[in-house]
Amino acid sequence: MPLQKPWRDLDRSAVASAPDRPGVYELGDGSGTVLAVDHGVLRDELKTALAYGDGDRVRWTEAHTLEQARELAADHRERLE
């Protein structure tokens, strides 16, 4: 099951608006197909994804800690399989 958030274009404005907090994020292609699910400090992770062209779109949800983000990402990946 995908994150229940709207897709945003993965661009500088999305990176700038991402919180500097832990969270889970999905990267998607132009049609909204999920390409990857990962976790980390959201702004840092999205900066890297934008630099490497890892996706066209992004959506995320915040977590309280990196450990919680890691667990949420693992659960999320299992549900996508």
Question: Is residue 37 over pLDDT 80?
Answer: yes
Say whether pLDDT at 3 is over 90. no
Distances 65 to 19, 41, 69, 71 between C-alpha atoms, Å: 13, 9, 6, 10
Q: Which helix (H) or strand (E) holds 58?
A: strand 57-62
**Tens-digit pLDDT profile for residues 41-72:** 999 999 999 999 999 999 999 999 999 999 99
Q: How many CB atoms lie within 10 A of CB 5?
A: 12
pLDDT, one tens digit per residue, over 9-27 is 999 999 999 999 999 999 9
What is the set of domains in the chain, with CATH numbers?
8-79 (3.40.1440.10)
Mean pLDDT, residues 19-40 taken together: 97
3-state DSSP helix/strand/coil percent for the chain, to nearest 5? 40, 30, 30
One-letter amino acid of 35: L
